[in-house]
Amino acid sequence: MRAAEISRKTKETDINLTLDLDGSGKVSIDTGIGFFNHMLTAFAVHSGIDLTVVCRGDLEVDGHHSVEDIGIVLGKAVAEALGDKAGIMRYGSFYIPMDEALAFCSLDISGRPFLVFNADFHDQRIGEFDTCLCEEFFRAFAFNSGITLHIREEYGKNDHHICEAIFKAAAHAFKAAITYNSDGSVLSTKGVL
């Protein structure tokens, strides 16, 4: 079973997260940041995973600690659920249009974390979500899951559409990468990842 449950408590956040990569679409997200709830829900639904997140963070400061720490915990949960990464397709790439916006994501579940993030937002916030936190979330997620992650906004004008297209593109690329391969092997010339 490709699942994980992680709790992480610091002076800034208290997070409980459960993940099932072979889920049936059960999603429950409570981060205290409405737009971020929406993005994590979109990521879970479009990647086909079960995801439960409860975060109590120092939102009186801002959303940074909550968003980054959820990226850390989600990344660790993915790494735990995938184990030695045997039996997966490993790679995924996807374009997502959302009205006038178009986003692209390509990723490699390689054990070598890296993030390339090319997106320009026009405003500082979407609701209570600071747009700069989109990159912070994906950096924390990539580095804690061991994923090489490339994200690019092709174009767009509406920040809600740009951000949502990014999360959905990442979700579909992730879904392709965690799909079972034909023989259960580790997809690497080295034999291990």
| 50 occurs within a structural domain | yes
Among residues 165, 38, 175, which one has the least CA distance to residue 104? Answer: 165
Domain that holds residue 171: 3-178
117 vs 10: CA distance, rounded Å: 27
* C-alpha–C-alpha distance, residues 187 and 19, integer Å: 23
> Does any domain span residue 188?
no
Q: Is residue 185 part of a domain?
A: no
Please report, for the domain that includes residue 116, its CATH number. 3.30.230.40
Looking at residue 184, its pLDDT comes to: 83
- pLDDT, tens only, 116-162: 999 999 999 999 999 999 999 999 999 999 999 999 999 999 999 99
Q: Is residue 94 part of a domain?
A: yes
Average pLDDT rounded to a whole number, residues 163-186: 95
In a domain, 68, yes or no: yes
In this model, does residue 191 exceed pLDDT 80? no
Find, among 90, 73, 149, 79, the residue nearest to 114 by Cα: 149
The structural domain count of the chain equals: 1
Q: Is residue 172 part of a domain?
A: yes
Tell me whether residue 74 is in a domain.
Answer: yes
**Would you say residue 186 lies in a domain?**
no
For residue 187, what pLDDT band results from cuts at 50, 70 and 90?
confident
Across all residues in the chain, what is the average pLDDT?
96
Nearest-angstrom CA–CA distance, 26 and 63: 25
